[in-house]
Amino acid sequence: MKGLGYTLRSMIPKEATASALELARRVLAIEADAVRALGARLDERFLAAVSLILACRGRLIVSGIGKSGHIARKIASTLSSTGTAAYFVHPAEASHGDLGMIQREDVFIAISYSGESDELLQIVPLVKRQGAKLVVMSGKPQSSLAREADVFLDAAVEQEACPLNLAPTASTTAALALGDALAVALLDARGFSADDFARSHPGGVLGRKLLTHVADVMRTGEAVPSVLAGTTLAEAILEITRKGMGMTAVVDLERRLVGLFTDGDLRRVLERAADPRGLLIDEVMTRGPRAVRPEALAVEAVEIMEQRKSTQMPVVDAAGRLVGALNIHDLFGAKIL
């Protein structure tokens, strides 16, 4: 990678290197300023848009053309994944039949920085005629689209990040951020939870982390290392070796967890005991160890293990009885880590 980086740098004339970095930093600064400015302008119109969408008994449709169309697709996707079902409709396709999907109960979000996109202006009268509500996201409050809006969202920027002040850069960033703000405000208003999020993301890493419980990945039955209280240390060491988890749980006659003994504990015993062969496990185990319930999320177990700097953990039921064991490798295998 070092060689590749050097090759790429060498392709830029030395005198242009500083200006390229300066220009890149200027782009990021302009776009950051554009997003910050949105916050100062948020007002009752934003709240009106949230209320309108929450009250919608039909569908939420998002539309835009060109770069605004790409932003509209992303906003529709973000809304859908955070509890507000939304659909993207291409305005050109809408004027050739797709407009038939829009009904009186729907809310239509039109995104156009200029507010003068011909493709949107052609279909807006028909959207309004159907009785659907119109939310316009634009940088021009006096534009043709803005004048037709039931709710106008101001996405204006001082300048584009493009040195020519032409290519949609800061304006598309601002529109995307405003769409995210709308999606998150709706998420909060709906009480959308992490479990809800997981149900809409079952195939991804996020869904796997949020849907996987300890019971799904823990070891059970004979694979769980355990010995009875009163067992000799030698027998406990054999159990650790047989089960290969680097620890053994210590239980009473009712299988209630009373202690834990790990490889680390064994090293500490060997350091201080002249002859450990006569010791009982009760003398060297950790009493009242931290355990996790099988219905807990696997990510909760990960957090506990990271806090305690441990690689294994016993699993107990509501009565404190040992029902399983969890190892860091099990979590890696389930792609929780």
Closest CA to 245 of 310, 166, 298, 151: 310
User: What domains can you pick out in the chain, each with its CATH number?
Assistant: 2-192 (3.40.50.10490), 214-333 (3.10.580.10)
Segment among 61-65, 112-116, 277-281 with least mean pLDDT: 277-281
pLDDT at 47 over 70: yes
Q: What is the pTM of this model?
A: 0.62
Q: What's the average model confidence in pLDDT over 46-57?
A: 95
The string of pLDDT tens digits covering residues 263-300 is 888 888 888 876 777 789 999 999 989 999 999 888 88
Q: What is the mean pLDDT of the chain?
A: 86
pLDDT at 49 over 80: yes
| Single-letter code of the amino acid located at 15 | E
User: Residue 55, Cβ neighbours under 10 Å: how many?
Assistant: 10
User: What local confidence, expressed as pLDDT, does residue 209 receive?
Assistant: 59
Cβ atoms of 148 and 122 closer than 8 Å: no
The C-alpha angle with vertex 136 and arms to 132 and 140, in degrees rounded to 5, equals 150
Question: Are 56 and 75 contacting, i.e. CB atoms less than 8 angstroms apart?
Answer: no
The 10s digit of each residue's pLDDT in 65-85 is 999 999 999 999 999 888 898
Q: Is the pLDDT of residue 108 over 90?
A: yes
pLDDT digits (tens, 9 = 90+) for 26-38: 999 999 999 999 9
Which residue in this structure is represented by tokens 């790429």? 8
Question: Pick the residue with more confidence: 96 or 44?
Answer: 44
Is residue 333 predicted with pLDDT exceeding 90? no
Residue 45 in this model has a pLDDT that exceeds 50? yes
Burial letters 94-132, b for 16+ CB under 10 A, else e: beeebbeebeeebbbbbbbbebebebbbebbeebeeeeb
Q: pLDDT of 144-158, one tens digit each?
A: 999 999 999 999 999
Q: Is residue 55 predicted with pLDDT exceeding 90?
A: yes
Helix (H, G, I), strand (E, B) or coil at 26: helix
The larger pLDDT score, comparing residue 220 to residue 335, is at 220
Compute the average pLDDT of residues 176-185: 95
If you average pLDDT over residues 172-177, what whole number do you get?
Answer: 96
- The predicted pLDDT at position 1 comes to 46
Q: Is the pLDDT of residue 203 over 60?
A: no
Q: Mind listing the pLDDT tens digit for each residue in 214-257?
A: 898 899 999 999 999 999 999 999 999 999 888 999 999 999 99
Which residues, in sequence order, are bridge partners of residue 86? 60
Q: Which is it for strands 312-316 and 322-327: parallel, antiparallel or unpaired?
A: antiparallel
Task: Give the pLDDT of residue 93.
Answer: 82
Report pLDDT for 34: 95
Tokens matching residue 190: 């709906």
- pLDDT at position 206 is 54
Question: At 18, is the pLDDT very low, low, confident or very high (cuts 50, 70, 90)?
Answer: low
Grouping H, G, I as helix, E, B as strand and the rest as coil, residue 253 is: coil
Share of the chain above pLDDT 90, in %: 57
309-324 per-position pLDDT tens digit: 888 899 999 999 999 9
- For 167, what's the count of Cα atoms within 13 Å in the CB-facing half-sphere? 7
User: How much is the pLDDT for 20?
Assistant: 85
The answer, yes or no, to whether residue 159 has pLDDT greater than 60, is: yes
Least confident residue range of 107-111, 121-125, 169-173: 121-125
Identity of residue 318: A
Count the Cβ atoms, other than its own, within 10 Å of residue 85. 12
